[in-house]
Amino acid sequence: MTVETTPAQEIAEALFRPRSIVLIGASDDPTKIGGRILAHLTDGGYPGEVHVVSRTGRPVQGRPSVTSVAELPTGIDLAVVATPAAHVPSTVAALGRHGVRVAVVVSSGFGETGTPQGRSLEAELRAACRETGIRVVGPNCQGVANLGARMVASFSSTFSRSTGLTDGSVAVLSQSGAMGAVLAQLAQPFVDGVRYWAATGNETDLTVADLLRGVVADPDVRTVQIYLEHLGNTAVLAEAAAEAARAGKTVLALKAGRTASGSRAAGSHTGALAQEDAVVDAFLARHGIVRARDPREMSELVRLFARPRPVGEGRVALVTNSGGLGVLLADEAEAHGLQLARFSERTLAQLRAGLPAFAAVQNPVDITAQLLTRPELVRNALAALEQDPGTDVVVVALGILGEYYDLDQILADVVDFQRRTTKLVMVCWVAGQRGMVERFAAHGVPAFDDTTACIRALAGLVRHERWTPPPAAEPVPAVQPPGAGRQSEHQGKQILTGWGLPVVRSLLAADPEEAVARAREIGYPVVLKLSAPSVAHKTELGLVEVGIADDDALRAAARRMLAAPVVGEIDGLLVEPMIAAVVEAAVGVLHDPAAGPVIMVGAGGVHAELLKDVRLLVPPIDETAARAAIESLALFPLLDGYRGRPPGDVDALVRLVVDLAAVPAVRAGQVTELDLNPVLVLPRGQGVVAVDVALTLRDESASRTTSL
Amino acid sequence: MTVETTPAQEIAEALFRPRSIVLIGASDDPTKIGGRILAHLTDGGYPGEVHVVSRTGRPVQGRPSVTSVAELPTGIDLAVVATPAAHVPSTVAALGRHGVRVAVVVSSGFGETGTPQGRSLEAELRAACRETGIRVVGPNCQGVANLGARMVASFSSTFSRSTGLTDGSVAVLSQSGAMGAVLAQLAQPFVDGVRYWAATGNETDLTVADLLRGVVADPDVRTVQIYLEHLGNTAVLAEAAAEAARAGKTVLALKAGRTASGSRAAGSHTGALAQEDAVVDAFLARHGIVRARDPREMSELVRLFARPRPVGEGRVALVTNSGGLGVLLADEAEAHGLQLARFSERTLAQLRAGLPAFAAVQNPVDITAQLLTRPELVRNALAALEQDPGTDVVVVALGILGEYYDLDQILADVVDFQRRTTKLVMVCWVAGQRGMVERFAAHGVPAFDDTTACIRALAGLVRHERWTPPPAAEPVPAVQPPGAGRQSEHQGKQILTGWGLPVVRSLLAADPEEAVARAREIGYPVVLKLSAPSVAHKTELGLVEVGIADDDALRAAARRMLAAPVVGEIDGLLVEPMIAAVVEAAVGVLHDPAAGPVIMVGAGGVHAELLKDVRLLVPPIDETAARAAIESLALFPLLDGYRGRPPGDVDALVRLVVDLAAVPAVRAGQVTELDLNPVLVLPRGQGVVAVDVALTLRDESASRTTSL
């Protein structure tokens, strides 16, 4: 029996705000998992009802217990299951039948073991969900918590008393429990607190993306940190990111498994599939999810995003007591594409009035080592910048030591400035008195302990402010695939022409004489190719010849190609015109197991291949996105009229990318690979034309046809 | 009168191990600079004699003082000058005449002010050095210290009691006092201590490089951290780096002013000249100086380099209690070009025996969350790796919280393992209990608080172990420059041919008919060019035509070119053969204000220009260095026979780079710019040939000639 799935909000309600909880597999011993969870529920002050199922039926940690699900009252929202893996599927099925809405399975011993038994138990667990309608977090997870509801249904050590985790505007959702703990701990000192925390383990049912939809609906949540080893269901993740964006919230992601080594490790950890990291980057960027490289960068990003202020153009003023820090920050600003503010005359005059005569008043402002005896210099510099019309962000960078400086005064002045101004205020406190970064953070000022870290986080914020949400994704069309498997050059060109894409004129000929007739139709010089599905690298096999000038040369080339040892069927010879291009580009489609179809655009030819000058775009792709990708190519100047060369038809290349992404067969995932390399970019106004087409269609259909 | 300069060792002796010191401009007030320095000398327990010169002649901080240099005893090694700038030149001159060997001028108000008065005072100070033979550190600097000799002649707050700086094997030399303080503070918790510390300010005489030669001579010094805003005298820096390398010591550099913005800021801070950062990179890499991007990376590098162990091939084993951390570290290892160790069967068996059944025993080793109740799991994993023949480095990565874990046991086990093994042991302690990183460091284990940081530092160590010192630099020859200013194509080719470099056969013709004669000599098809010193971009001006097939076409092209509006004199027409290349490369020389001649090698043509696929090499350049640079190009596969193409003559390209670097006129700095683009790389065994030569020679010579 299949039951309707519960909408995201109802799941979030039962999972994060349960009125009652049952713990299956509780223990008296608080060093055991089932014991720890019960202790956390009690210590956290969970105000709802807690039921306990134990093997013995004796009281556990002072709470009465029963020995079976059947003995429980009805109407329980949430179950936490900590029994041995073998009992989990039947227990979850029983819970589902009993009307429990969500189960968090913390037990291990499922798919993550890589054993047939483990995989089979996990399949049984999935079946229990499907059959009874209960939703499951886990298995092999560390549980969930909502500090806003004083509900800690997790054994993670992040909820031990020593971590000092408090309720706040941040949520942490992680496929790995340990990484979830790390992210929460690294964030806590720098934010107002962490409300939601969940580790999803094997994600046999509910995923980080599902829970993300739940937590962004809470108006108090402002920032969500997610840790992923695989993207999971990208449609749900994209929708959750869109919901977050509409609500003005930011999702920060740490996605591990960027490399082959990392992917392999992730595969044995959470069963993640290897995934092209450039696709992950493109997907996250498209959906406004800000990516961190490591836990440290995540902690640095969250301290800025959790206390956001509009940063306008991101023009940054640097105020420092060390010329060296000013230089390092200026370096990083330029390296990260940020603009240094240019101060108005009024600002410069005010800086001169408030600072020592030998201070540098141009940006970076060096208030000098006199800060030692004149703590008011920070205040004076900030007062001058407050009204500066060209400054959006003020970074106060100090590298000073405790006992010689009036730190309390400096702290108070920066905090006071932040209260008065609408500009973003950041502190970069490099070395010096310990704990100052946390003291600034406690007063709501984003503070960093390194120059690169500070500017990198700011650049992330500025970039995110410029991000525009993608157009709403239209439903994927149901279309008949135009064929299956690897297509010959001729078939590929026919199919692309059918899709309305610009393909070179290409005439099929069965033999040398027909080729000559076709060449006369087109006009010499021509290109000759052999078309056959089995031929992948025509150039290397000598199955392409360009610049053929006359009938004799054509006949010779045709005879040579027809005599070449080619496996399988042959369409025949293709005769095509020679076309002079401004530059060669490449456009393609690749199929990512998680993200689906991804469009590639880049420089064409062998140089581009080696230099990897390509951009990936995750649909939906509008003209803005396509143009931005093309303009960001290193070779873009060649497209745009480099050093007096004629400019290419960039608009037509943009159109090709947008049109290709909109092709129903592409959107439906029927194109597993498409490589148009080169796409000749003609002079402006004359379009683009694909001259080489390598197309592979999904092989699920038994029929094989070249017609549309 | 000019005096012989004192050798580096004698300067270092007087500066860092003075038997007596005089302080000029001492103050009773310890918040003033002159007061602070005296207090630091006293508090530090400096055992030598301290003399004081003050304005009043009254006792200062309990020490007697005199009012003039003349009243001082003779034989004083070191003077610290803290008087107002206007008095400094005369004071330093008096000190010099009095026989004082080194003066540290902490006063400000010199060149750094950017004012004519400041610049003129600094010139006077330089004159005082030159005339009396006294050497000067500063002005505008924070002083020097040698904690091994209990000598703190600095007002830097890094010597306040709260910083806990102790004597050890690290030295810090910095052009900026504040940055020197930052680097010392960030290093101290992770190393055995900091012996030498010096801030050199304006470097009007002695530089960081000079002091570097002094400190590497101390057998107890193992690592030197330097902070630079400009490279200064690169010959001295190169020699100091060579001395460090010969003594088995490492120099770590933080070089600020990487970007235009940073350079501008550095210019107003320490008067640094703008410098191509790629040249700085090439220079540092050539001389085995390891570069850090920011103070944080410097702190991370020093904790590894200060306690070095041989790392062999750098094959790294990861041991973690969090699968997520394992994935992140594996990602970073691959991204940084490190190899993950492949464990032997014996190792795997031992891991299986010592870890839970569901633990991952392949690298990364996941000892699992059972660490909670089984602290011995770390020990078990390490014991298995101890004998693994394929493991050079062990990283223990934990993300755990205090009260639930037996941290003392884990710490003891890791420290004990490090004592037993010769492998490098590192700890990556992400989040969790505060202070654990420092606790490991206190036991001599390099410890890091982030995944990227840990692996990035390791990669730096592995890369440095592979570095081989450059051949000894031969003295720069005294040669007559072959010309001056911008050379015409013809002149440039003549000069290069004279240098024995491979240049295309190129015949000069005065008119169309002579061009025809030359073309017949060479054989059609030919290339025709106009040669004139004023013509820089021939292609864009239509002054190059390739593939000319016959006399008529040649005459037409020649007439067109001779009629073109060209400014200044014309050499005539150049007739050259058409040559088919495997690939186009580019080779050149650029002249860096600090580093001198730098050789460039990269991909040729317009693609390379846009994609910046070039490497810079700082002489002396041997074959190994040239080959490594060429092999690291993104386009190298094209040179090496990509996808069935014929391989190019890489050896000949290597030879061209080595030969070009050895040309006396290049080494003597007479070539201010040379651009050979393209250099045609012919099939293997057939050499390379420069077809386009843009040469500019230094303009100091009045004579102008194209002959050698």
B352: domain CATH number is 3.40.50.261
Which residues of chain B lie closer than 8 angstroms to A399, CB-CB?
178-179, 181-182, 295
A670: domain CATH number is 3.30.470.20
CB contact under 8 A, A269 and B326: yes
pTM attached to this predicted model: 0.92
Average pLDDT, chain A: 91
Residue range B551-572: mean pLDDT, rounded: 88
What pLDDT, on a 0 to 100 scale, did the predictor assign at position A275?
A: 74
A178 closest CB neighbour out of B266, B330, B399: B399
What pLDDT, on a 0 to 100 scale, did the predictor assign at position B701?
A: 47
Which residues of chain B lie closer than 8 angstroms to A634, CB-CB?
610-612
What is d(CA A241, CA A391) in angstroms, rounded to the nearest whole number?
Answer: 31
Assess whether B281 and B150 both reside in one domain.
Answer: yes
Confidence of residue A271 (pLDDT cuts 50, 70, 90): low
Q: What is the CA radius of gyration of chain B?
A: 31
Assess whether A228 and A106 both reside in one domain.
Answer: no
Element (H, E) at B608: helix B605-611
B109: domain CATH number is 3.40.50.720
Contact B657/B630 with Cβ under 8 angstroms? yes
Residue range A38-66: mean pLDDT, rounded: 95
CA distance, residue B255 to nearest chain A CA (Å): 9
Taking CA–CA distances from A295, the nearest residue in chain B reads B450
Residue type, A439: R
What pLDDT, on a 0 to 100 scale, did the predictor assign at position B138?
A: 92
CA-based angle A637:A643:A648, to the nearest 5? 50
Q: Is residue A472 part of a domain?
A: no
CA distance, residue A374 to nearest chain B CA (Å): 11
Contact A108/A75 with Cβ under 8 angstroms? no
B270 closest CB neighbour out of A108, A296, A323: A323
Taking CA–CA distances from B270, the nearest residue in chain A reads A323
Among the ranges given (A234-243, A539-548, B327-336, B487-496), the one the predictor scored with the smallest mean pLDDT: A539-548
Whether the pLDDT of residue B540 is over 50: the answer is: yes
Assess whether B98 and B165 both reside in one domain.
Answer: no
Residue range A298-313: mean pLDDT, rounded: 92
Distances from the Cα of A262 to the Cαs of A259, B86, B355, in angstroms? 5, 62, 22
What pLDDT, on a 0 to 100 scale, did the predictor assign at position B608?
A: 66
Which residues of chain A lie closer than 8 angstroms to B185, CB-CB?
401, 431-432
Residue range B94-119: mean pLDDT, rounded: 94
Residue range A502-508: mean pLDDT, rounded: 96
Q: Give whichever of A5-9, A622-626, B650-654 has the largest mean pLDDT.
A: B650-654
Residue range B599-621: mean pLDDT, rounded: 86
What pLDDT, on a 0 to 100 scale, did the predictor assign at position A534?
A: 78
Given CA atoms B608, B610, B615, B617 in this order, what sign does their dihedral have? positive
**β-pair partners for B425:** B394
B261 closest CB neighbour out of A333, A369, A644: A333
A543: domain CATH number is 3.30.1490.20
CB contact under 8 A, B261 and A296: no
The DSSP secondary structure of A236-261, one letter per residue, reads HHHHHHHHHHHTT-EEEEEE---SHH
B185 closest CB neighbour out of A322, A431, A537: A431
Taking CA–CA distances from B612, the nearest residue in chain A reads A634
Strands A250-255 and A290-292: parallel
Decide: helix, strand or coil at residue B342. Answer: coil
Confidence of residue A181 (pLDDT cuts 50, 70, 90): very high
Which residues of chain A lie closer than 8 angstroms to B268, CB-CB?
323, 360, 362, 366
Which residues of chain B lie closer than 8 angstroms to A430, CB-CB?
182, 186, 295
Q: Is residue B485 part of a domain?
A: no
CB contact under 8 A, B328 and A401: no
Whether the pLDDT of residue A88 is over 60: the answer is: yes
A642 closest CB neighbour out of B333, B432, B606: B606
Of A544, A577, A610, which closes a domain? A577
**β-pair partners for B81:** B24, B105
What pLDDT, on a 0 to 100 scale, did the predictor assign at position A75?
A: 93
Residue range B562-570: mean pLDDT, rounded: 83
Given CA atoms B501, B506, B507, B510 in this order, what sign does their dihedral have? negative
Greater confidence, A644 or A681?
A: A681
Among the ranges given (A251-255, B277-281, B349-353, B610-614), the one the predictor scored with the smallest mean pLDDT: B610-614
Assess whether A47 and A68 both reside in one domain.
Answer: yes
Q: What is the token pair recorded at A432?
A: 């010096």
Which residues of chain B lie closer than 8 angstroms to A334, CB-CB?
259-262
Confidence of residue B404 (pLDDT cuts 50, 70, 90): confident
Q: Is residue A293 part of a domain?
A: yes
What are the start-end ranges of the E strands in A579-657?
A: 583-592, 596-603, 614-617
Q: Is residue B499 part of a domain?
A: no
Query: What is the four-CA torsion angle of A297, A303, A305, A307, rounded to 10 degrees?
Result: -170
A330 closest CB neighbour out of B262, B431, B449: B262
Taking CA–CA distances from A32, the nearest residue in chain B reads B373
Confidence of residue B25 (pLDDT cuts 50, 70, 90): very high
Among the ranges given (A474-483, A609-618, A635-644, A690-699), the one the predictor scored with the smallest mean pLDDT: A474-483
Buried b (16+ CB within 10 A) or exposed e, B438-463: ebbbeebbbbbbbbbbbbbbbbbbbe
Q: What is the token pair recorded at A683?
A: 């002079």
Size of interface A-B (CB pairs under 8 A): 283
CA distance, residue A360 to nearest chain B CA (Å): 7
CA-based angle B499:B503:B506, to the nearest 5? 115
CB contact under 8 A, A296 and B453: yes
How large is the angle between the packed helices A295-305 and B451-466, nearest 10 degrees? 130
How large is the angle between the packed helices A177-187 and B323-335, nearest 10 degrees? 80
Helix-strand-coil split of chain B, %, nearest 5: 40, 20, 40
Of B110, B140, B170, which closes a domain? B140
Residue type, B396: V
Residue range B232-260: mean pLDDT, rounded: 93
CB contact under 8 A, A400 and B262: no
List pLDDT tens digits, range A139-170. 999 999 999 999 999 999 889 877 789 999 99
- Determine if the peptide bond prior to B47 is cis (ω within 30°): no
Confidence of residue A608 (pLDDT cuts 50, 70, 90): low
Residue type, B325: L
CB contact under 8 A, A328 and B256: yes
Q: Tokens 């603009």, residue? A: A339
What pLDDT, on a 0 to 100 scale, did the predictor assign at position B566?
A: 77
Report the Cα–Cα distance between both ends of chain A, in Å, rounded.
Answer: 40
Contact B696/B674 with Cβ under 8 angstroms? yes
Of B401, B417, B441, which closes a domain? B441
Assess whether B126 and B4 both reside in one domain.
Answer: yes
Q: Is residue A212 part of a domain?
A: yes
Contact A340/A362 with Cβ under 8 angstroms? no
Domain count, chain A: 5
Whether the pLDDT of residue B704 is over 50: the answer is: no
Strand order in the sheet with B365-366: B365-366, B316-320, B393-398, B424-429, B447-448
List pLDDT tens digits, range A582-598. 899 999 999 888 888 99
Mutate to test the interface with B, among A188, A200, A268, A331 (most CBs of B within 10 A): A331
Mutate to test the interface with A, among B228, B319, B331, B451 (most CBs of A within 10 A): B331
CB contact under 8 A, B325 and A178: yes
CB contact under 8 A, A334 and B405: no
What pLDDT, on a 0 to 100 scale, did the predictor assign at position A700?
A: 64
Whether the pLDDT of residue A707 is over 50: the answer is: no
CB contact under 8 A, B179 and A258: no
Cβ–Cβ contacts within 10 Å for residue A145, how many? 30
A257 closest CB neighbour out of B266, B331, B360: B331
B322 closest CB neighbour out of A178, A262, A405: A178
Confidence of residue A708 (pLDDT cuts 50, 70, 90): very low
Residue range B419-442: mean pLDDT, rounded: 91
Assess whether A13 and A136 both reside in one domain.
Answer: yes
Residue A644 buriedness (CB in 10 A; 0-12 / 13-18 / 19+): exposed
What is d(CA B264, CA A682) in angstroms, rounded to the nearest whole number?
Answer: 42
Assess whether A284 and A155 both reside in one domain.
Answer: yes
Whether the pLDDT of residue B23 is over 80: the answer is: yes
Buried b (16+ CB within 10 A) or exposed e, A435-446: ebbebbbeebbb
CB contact under 8 A, B160 and A31: no
Residue type, A501: L
Assess whether A135 and A149 both reside in one domain.
Answer: no
CB contact under 8 A, B113 and A358: yes
The DSSP secondary structure of B183-241, one letter per residue, reads HHHHHGGGSS-EEEEEE-TT-SS--HHHHHHHHHTSTT--EEEEEESS---HHHHHHHH
Assess whether A686 and A616 both reside in one domain.
Answer: yes
Q: Is residue A496 part of a domain?
A: no
CB contact under 8 A, A161 and B403: yes
List pLDDT tens digits, range B572-582. 999 999 998 88
Assess whether B228 and B294 both reside in one domain.
Answer: yes
ipTM field: 0.92
Which residues of chain A lie closer than 8 angstroms to B293, CB-CB?
452
Whether the pLDDT of residue A317 is over 80: the answer is: yes
CA distance, residue B190 to nearest chain A CA (Å): 13
CB contact under 8 A, A324 and B643: no
Mutate to test the interface with A, among B173, B179, B328, B339 (most CBs of A within 10 A): B328
Among the ranges given (A675-689, B151-165, B238-252), the one the predictor scored with the smallest mean pLDDT: B151-165
Whether the pLDDT of residue B457 is over 50: the answer is: yes
Q: Is residue B493 part of a domain?
A: no
The domain of A248 spans 143-308
Taking CA–CA distances from B325, the nearest residue in chain A reads A179
Contact B79/B26 with Cβ under 8 angstroms? no
CA distance, residue B364 to nearest chain A CA (Å): 7
CB contact under 8 A, A401 and B270: no
Whether the pLDDT of residue A566 is over 70: the answer is: yes
Whether the pLDDT of residue A4 is over 60: the answer is: no
User: Of A688, A691, A580, nearest to A630 (Cα)?
Assistant: A688
Which residues of chain B lie closer than 8 angstroms to A321, CB-CB?
178
What is d(CA A218, CA B593) in angstroms, rounded to the nearest whole number?
Answer: 60
Mutate to test the interface with A, among B261, B320, B538, B613 (most CBs of A within 10 A): B261
Q: Give the DSSP letter of residue A345.
A: H
Residue range B474-493: mean pLDDT, rounded: 86
What pLDDT, on a 0 to 100 scale, did the predictor assign at position B703?
A: 38
Q: Percent of chain A scored above 70 by pLDDT?
A: 96
Which residues of chain A lie closer than 8 angstroms to B330, CB-CB?
259, 261-262, 264-265
What pLDDT, on a 0 to 100 scale, did the predictor assign at position A568?
A: 79
Which residues of chain A lie closer than 8 angstroms to B360, CB-CB?
268-269
CB contact under 8 A, B325 and A163: no
Which residues of chain A lie closer than 8 angstroms to B328, CB-CB?
254, 256, 262, 294-295
Residue range B351-366: mean pLDDT, rounded: 92
Q: What is the token pair recorded at A129?
A: 């969900």
What pLDDT, on a 0 to 100 scale, did the predictor assign at position A373?
A: 84
What pLDDT, on a 0 to 100 scale, did the predictor assign at position B402?
A: 61
Chain centroid offset of residue A52 CA: 40
Q: Is residue B338 part of a domain?
A: yes
Assess whether A132 and A163 both reside in one domain.
Answer: no
Assess whether B291 and B330 both reside in one domain.
Answer: no
CB contact under 8 A, A157 and B405: yes
What pLDDT, on a 0 to 100 scale, did the predictor assign at position B267?
A: 78
Whether the pLDDT of residue A265 is over 80: the answer is: yes
Residue range B679-689: mean pLDDT, rounded: 96
CB contact under 8 A, B264 and A402: no
What is d(CA A453, CA A426) in angstroms, rounded to the nearest whole number?
Answer: 12
Among the ranges given (B298-302, B448-452, B587-591, B611-615), the one the predictor scored with the smallest mean pLDDT: B611-615
Query: What is the four-CA torsion angle of A278, A284, A289, A291, rounded to 10 degrees?
Result: -20
Beta-carbon contacts of residue B605 (< 8 Å; ≥ 6 apart): B584, B586, B677, B678
Contact A200/A173 with Cβ under 8 angstroms? yes
